[in-house]
Amino acid sequence: MTDDVRVRYAPSPTGYLHIGNARTALFNWLFARHYNGTFIIRIEDTDANRNIANGEQSQLENLAWLGLDWDESPDKGGEFGPYRQSERNADGIYQAYIDDLLKKGLAYKSYKTSEELAQEREAQQAAKQAPHYVYEYEGLSDSQREAKYAEFEAQGLKPVVRFRVPEDKVYAWDDIVKGHIEIGAKEVGGDWVIQKADGMPTYNFAVVVDDHLMKITHVLRGDDHVSNTPKQMMIYEALGWSVPAFGHMALIINAATGKKLSKRDNDVLQFVEQYRELGYQPQAMDNFIGLLGWSPKGEDEIFSLDQFIQMFDEKRLTKANAKFDQKKLEWINNQWMRRDKEKVMPQLIQELVNAGLITAEQAQTQKDWLANVIEVAGVDGISYTRQIVDLVREPFFELGEISDEMLSYLTSEDGRKVYQAWYKAYQALPVDANAEQYMATIRSIQNELEIKGRNLWNPIRIATTHQIQGPNLPEMLVLLDKNKVLATMDAVAKKYLS
RNA sequence: GGCCCCAUGGUCAAGUGGUUAAGACGUCGCGUUCUCAGCGCGGAAUCGAGGGUUCGACUCCCUCUGGGGCUACCA
C-alpha cells in the first residue's frame, strides 16, 4: 500500500457539503496523505436535473475551509482530466466504451417506456417476486434485434443502453473495512441502465470508467454503496479492467430517527456551512468527524489534521453505524476554541458586531476591552462563537429588568444596608481599581455589617448589573464604566429604595 | 418481500480466549464559590437473547431478535 495510492472524492453538485460527504472526503484525504498518495476530486454531475447552481463551488469551498487540499480536480486540472463527468461525456469518453460493449453484445438498447417498466414491476410484486428487469430480446438473433431497434426508432422512441448481466456469476471482494463480501449477480435486479435516454452515463457505469481511467487504487465510500459494487465489478470485468480495492464505511445515523443521515432531516444541522456560520472551528469539525466511525489507539480525543494523518489506519475503521452526537461536537468545538483562543477572539468580537452590540469601528478601537469582557463573561463555557452574544449582552451592553426576586434581595433590611455601604465604598475607590480591591471592599463590608453570602453579594450585584447571577462580580466591575455604574445605582435607588 | 451489513453503558468507543470490561461526551452527586461558567473528585454497563466449542468467551461457531443499507433512465 505504499506506492501510487490514488483515491478520490466524487461529489455530485446537488447540494451543499453534507456532514456525511465531508466524512467520506476526510477519510479519503487522510488515506491519501497518510500513504503519500494522490487525492482527486471528481464532479459527478450526470443528472442535470438535480445539479444546483453553485453546488460545486460551495462543496470545494467548504472542503478547503475544513483544511483539505487536493491534487487533481476541475479547478486545478491534472493529467487525467477533465474532472467533471458532464465534460467527460461531451468528450465522448463514455460513449466509446458503451459502443464497445454494444458491439460485443454485452449491452443492448432498450426502448421500454417508464410506464411499461412500472407495470412490469407491479406485476412482479403482485406475484411476490423480487422486482427484476425482463430481457425483451430473448431468443432473437442479432439481426432480429437490430430490426426491433429500427422498429422502435421509427416510432420515435429513445433508447437507454442496458448492461446484460451475467446472472450465474457471483461477485466477491475483500472489503477494506467489512472483510469478505460476496453478492450474486442475480441480486442486482437484472439488466441495468448504463446510458440514459439523454445520452448521459449512469452513475454505476461512469464511476467505473472514470476510476479506471484516473487510475484510482482505493475506493473508500459509504456503506450505502455496497450493493452497487457488484454492478461496478461487472463493468470492470466486461471491459477487461482490474478492480480497485473497495472499503465501505459505516454510515452516520440521525440520532433522532435512527436512519441514515439525510439531507432532508431538518432536525439536525448537517451542512458544514451551517456549523461554519454558527462559529464552529474547522479543526473541531475535522476532529469530530474523524472520530465518527474511526478510533485512534490511545485515549486522547483532541487531534489536529496532521495528527490524524500520522495516526491514520484503515484497519481501525468501525463496522457499525454511528449516531451523530451533537453534544460531543459542541464539546470538541469548545476544546478547540479554548486551545486557539488568540485565533478565535476576532471571530468572537465579530459576533458582537453582527449582533449589533458594537460597531465595526469599536471592534477595532476597543479590542482589548472586548477581549476582557468576552473572557470574563465566560467564553470558556460556550460551544460555538455565536453563543458569546447572549453571554456579554448584559450587563456590558444592555441592562435587563429587575425581577421580583432581585427586588426582594435589594429592598430587604440587609439589602438596604449593603447598598448604602457599598455605594459609599465604591464611590471612594479609584476609577482603575482592580478586582482584588473590589473584592477587599466587599469583604470589609461583610465584616462591618456582618452580612454574608447572597444577602451581601446579591444587593451589590443587582444594583450594579441588574443581574442576580453572572460572572465574578469583582472582575465585571473592573470592566464596567464607573460613571455608568454609579448612574445605574442611582437609578435603582431612586426607583426602589426611596 | 429479497439480498447485504452491523450489534460492548443514553452517545462515540477500546478490547481480537483468562482484564477489577479502557477512555471521552452527556448525565447524576460532592467540592471550590455570592451566583453562573470553569476547574477538581466521585457514581452508574457483565458486553441484545438462547444454544454450542473450550479448563475458561465480550472475544470463535450456530440460531433467533433488533437495527441499518440497497432494491431508479439518483448519485
Answer yes or no: do A229 and A116 share one domain: yes
Contact yes or no for A375/A342 (Cβ under 8 A): no
Residue with CA nearest to B2's C1' atom: A130
- Residue A269 forms part of a structural domain: yes
Residue A262's pLDDT is 84
- Residue A333 forms part of a structural domain: no
CATH number at residue A15: 3.40.50.620
Nucleotide nearest to A224 (CA to C1'): B69
Answer yes or no: do A204 and A256 share one domain: no
Chain B nucleotides close to protein (CB under 7 A) are 1-8, 10-15, 22-26, 34-39, 67-75
pLDDT in tens, A285-314: 999 999 999 999 988 999 999 999 999 999
Answer yes or no: do A105 and A242 share one domain: yes
- Residue A382 forms part of a structural domain: yes
pLDDT in tens, A7-41: 999 999 988 999 999 999 999 999 999 999 999 99
CA atom of A179 to C1′ atom of B53, Å:
24
Q: How many CB atoms lie within 10 A of CB A328?
A: 13
- Residue A218 forms part of a structural domain: yes
How many Å apart are CA A89 and CA A448, to the nearest integer? 87
| A144, A148, A150, A151 alpha-carbon torsion, rounded to 10° | 130
Domain end residue (candidates: A228, A249, A270): A249
Beta pairing partners, A294 = A317
Beta pairing partners, A18 = A271
Answer yes or no: do A315 and A199 share one domain: no
> String of b and e for A181-209 (b: at least 16 CB within 10 Å)?
eebebbebebbbbbbbeeebbbbbbbbbb
Answer yes or no: do A308 and A356 share one domain: no
Answer yes or no: do A12 and A153 share one domain: no
Mean pLDDT for A482-497 is 94
Nucleotide nearest to A196 (CA to C1'): B73
Range of the domain at A376: 340-397
Q: What's the angle, vertex CA A76, arms to CA A70 and CA A81, rounded to 5?
A: 100
pLDDT in tens, A427-450: 999 999 999 999 999 999 999 999
Residue A497's pLDDT is 83
- Residue A291 forms part of a structural domain: yes
CA atom of A294 to C1′ atom of B51, Å:
33
Domain end residue (candidates: A249, A266, A283): A249
Grid coordinates of A434: 482592580
Residue A3's pLDDT is 62
Nucleotide nearest to A189 (CA to C1'): B71
CA atom of A1 to C1′ atom of B61, Å:
33
Answer yes or no: do A146 and A232 share one domain: yes
Query: In this model, does residue A2 exceed pLDDT 60?
Result: no
CA atom of A413 to C1′ atom of B31, Å:
32
Query: In this model, does residue A1 exceed pLDDT 80?
Result: no
A367 annotated binding-site participant: no
CA atom of A333 to C1′ atom of B16, Å:
33
- Residue A443 forms part of a structural domain: yes
Residue A130 pLDDT class (50, 70, 90 cuts):
confident
Answer yes or no: do A175 and A33 share one domain: no
Residue A264's pLDDT is 81
Query: In this model, does residue A327 exceed pLDDT 80?
Result: yes
Closest CA to A374 of A360, A362, A390, A361: A390
Domain end residue (candidates: A249, A269, A289): A249
CA atom of A141 to C1′ atom of B75, Å:
35
Answer yes or no: do A235 and A103 share one domain: yes
Query: In this model, does residue A283 exceed pLDDT 60?
Result: yes
Residue A129 pLDDT class (50, 70, 90 cuts):
confident
CATH number at residue A415: 1.10.10.350
How far is Cα of residue A187 from the mean position of the Cα atoms in its chain? Answer: 33
Nucleotide nearest to A301 (CA to C1'): B24
Q: How many structural domains comprise chain A?
A: 4
Answer yes or no: do A177 and A237 share one domain: yes
Grid coordinates of A212: 479506471
Nucleotide nearest to A206 (CA to C1'): B75
- Residue A66 forms part of a structural domain: yes
Query: In this model, does residue A252 exceed pLDDT 60?
Result: yes
- Residue A1 forms part of a structural domain: no
Answer yes or no: do A116 and A223 share one domain: yes
Answer yes or no: do A483 and A408 share one domain: yes
The percent of residues above 90 in pLDDT, for chain A, comes to: 89
